[in-house]
Amino acid sequence: MKILLLGGGAREHAIAWALNKSPKVEALFAAPGNPGIARFGTCFSIDPCDSAAVLQIARETSVDCVFAGPEAPLVAGVADSLRKAGITVFGPGRNGAMLEGSKAFAKQFMKRHGIPTAPFDIVSDMEQAEAALRKRNPPYVVKADGLAAGKGAFLPDTMEEALGICRRLLVEAELNEAGKTVVIEDFLPGTEITILAVTDGRTVRQLPSSQDHKRIFDGDRGPNTGGMGAYCPVPWADADLLDQIQRQILEPTVRGLSSEGIDFCGIIYAGLMVDNRRNCRVLEYNVRLGDPEAQVVLAAFPGDWAEVVEAACEKRLHRVQWSQARKTAVGVVLASGGYPGEYRKGYRILGIEEAEKEEGVIVFQAGTTLDPEAGLVTSGGRVLTVVGLAETLGAAREKAYCAAAKIAFTDAYFRTDISAKASSPPWGAC
């Protein structure tokens, strides 16, 4: 197989790493890619949301499949343009991508198909917002409808704060078009878990469970980020719970998409809240692998990733089998100081090669670029994901943190508590 990978973050580096392990993959290309991905194939400096540019590269390289890494190209309809030109794509069309592209669409979809989620209201002005908030008790949940790079969800503790957030979104247009419509929903207590699944539009198969850490500071404090670390699999996500998720959430989702005429091939990401009675409710859908979840899930995935992608594209996913993850992975994100706010770029990165000398350590690059004089330098908020892979959670965590300590760049920051509470299920101690 020749594969063109869209995207250039740590998630896409992990996808490239997983594809590169497969004997099925003959050649790998990426747009735009990053210095880490370039180790596995050729990178093209184009906008992955530019359908015409992507189509041109796909034709020039004679690829068998285009793998859409991030959500933006999918919501922009790149997959539709490629399929219209006869090119196979792993990733949904624009209509399927609305599960992630519009929180309002996703909530209404779940309501139509009986998929458990929090009660909600969809509002477009301050009068509606205040009425929706008055019906609820704090903490409040306010979400921008559109894509906001993981920063469109808010949990204000007071009515004053909640109204202020709604005003910033609806009146001041802080998130532009993404905040013109707002979803206000009930707060759900419990513990979050991420379930990633592959579907060909008929069959849906789970990948290893994972849990990410969204807040910037230890102890889940501070503002939300795109994700500061993750681990996989989740120890308390037993077979019964995963079967429940399959029956109550994943299968109804795929059936619902099909019943609405949406031919969905790709990833379904279900961000779930599990309460102390083992009830599972959907917090959000995404239509791509999570970041940083992909980095740990693909590191621990025991199967041939290219075989899974190929089978999904050919609608024969039911014929592909893979076992449960035999190893545990812990991923720690190294970020630029100041992230998720303002931060500086261009700092030299040292120590990646030294970190990767340790068996079971993989460093996935995100906000990096090559400088002609300085070499590898920082270019983004989340710079690297350092993954430790081992037989036990404790060993994987130790590998990840020992490796992270070997990497240096000015103002580097990482959380020190990734996976620290992994053994604590919502229904009590293990």
pLDDT digits (tens, 9 = 90+) for 46-72: 999 999 999 999 999 999 999 999 999
Q: Which amino acid is at 13?
A: H
Tens digits of residue pLDDT in 224-251: 899 999 999 999 999 999 999 999 999 9
Residues 84 and 128 grouped into a single domain = no
**Residues present in the chain in total:** 430
Output the pTM of the full model. 0.96
User: Which residue, of 93, 110, 133, is where some domain finishes?
Assistant: 93
Q: 42 vs 5, 31, 289, CA distance in Å? A: 10, 9, 22
Domain assignment of residue 100, yes or no: no
Q: Which tokens sit at 403?
A: 């490796």
In a domain, 373, yes or no: yes
How many other β-carbons are positioned within 10 Å of the β-carbon of residue 331?
A: 36
Whole-number Å distance between alpha carbons of 308 and 250: 18
- Asked if residue 164 and residue 48 are part of one domain, the reply reads no
Q: CATH number, domain at 37?
A: 3.40.50.20
* Domain closes at, from 145, 167, 185: 185
> Does the pLDDT value for residue 287 go beyond 90?
yes
430 confidence band (pLDDT: 50, 70, 90):
very low
Same domain, yes or no: 302 and 386: yes
Same domain, 167 and 64: no
pLDDT at position 391 is 96
What is the CATH classification number for the domain harbouring 270? Answer: 3.30.470.20
Q: Is the pLDDT of residue 36 over 90?
A: yes
Greater model confidence, 223 or 102: 102
Residue 386's domain comprises 191-413
pLDDT score, position 425: 86
Question: Does residue 421 fall inside a structural domain?
Answer: no
Judgement on whether residues 270 and 329 belong to the same structural domain of the protein: yes
Whether residue 103 lies inside any domain: the answer is: no
Domain count, the chain: 3
Of all residues in the chain, what percent carry a pLDDT higher than 70?
99
Q: Which residues of 255-285 are buried (b: 16+ CB within 10 A; e: fewer)?
A: ebbeeeebebbbbbbbbbbbeeeeebbbbbb
pLDDT at position 220 = 93
Residues 6+ apart with CB under 8 A from 374: 346, 348
- Angle, CA 247 vertex, CA 244 and CA 248 arms, to 5°: 80
Q: Say yes or no: 228 and 207 in one domain.
A: yes
Q: Are residues 360 and 277 in the same domain?
A: yes
Please report, for residues 107, 277, 363, 409, the alpha-carbon distance to residue 340 in angstroms, rounded to integers and kept in the order given.
27, 34, 21, 17
Q: Are residues 132 and 256 in the same domain?
A: no
Q: Please indicate, yes or no, whether residues 27 and 166 belong to a single structural domain of this protein.
A: no
The pLDDT of 323-339, averaged and rounded, is 94
Regarding whether 302 and 179 lie in a shared domain, the answer is no
* Same domain for 76 and 136: no
Instruction: State the pLDDT at residue 120.
Output: 98
Helix, strand and coil in the chain, % to nearest 5: 30, 25, 40
- Residue 199 placed within a domain: yes
The verdict on 167 and 312 lying in the same domain is: no
SS3 assignment, position 140: coil
Return the CATH number at 127.
Answer: 3.30.1490.20
Strand partners of residue 210: 194
- Kindly state whether residue 363 falls inside one of the protein's structural domains: yes
- Structural domain includes residue 426: no
**Token pair recorded at residue 150:** 């993981």
What band does 151 get if pLDDT is binned at 50, 70 and 90? confident
Q: Quick one: pLDDT band at residue 158, thresholds 50, 70, 90?
A: very high
Assess if residue 420 is contained within a domain.
no
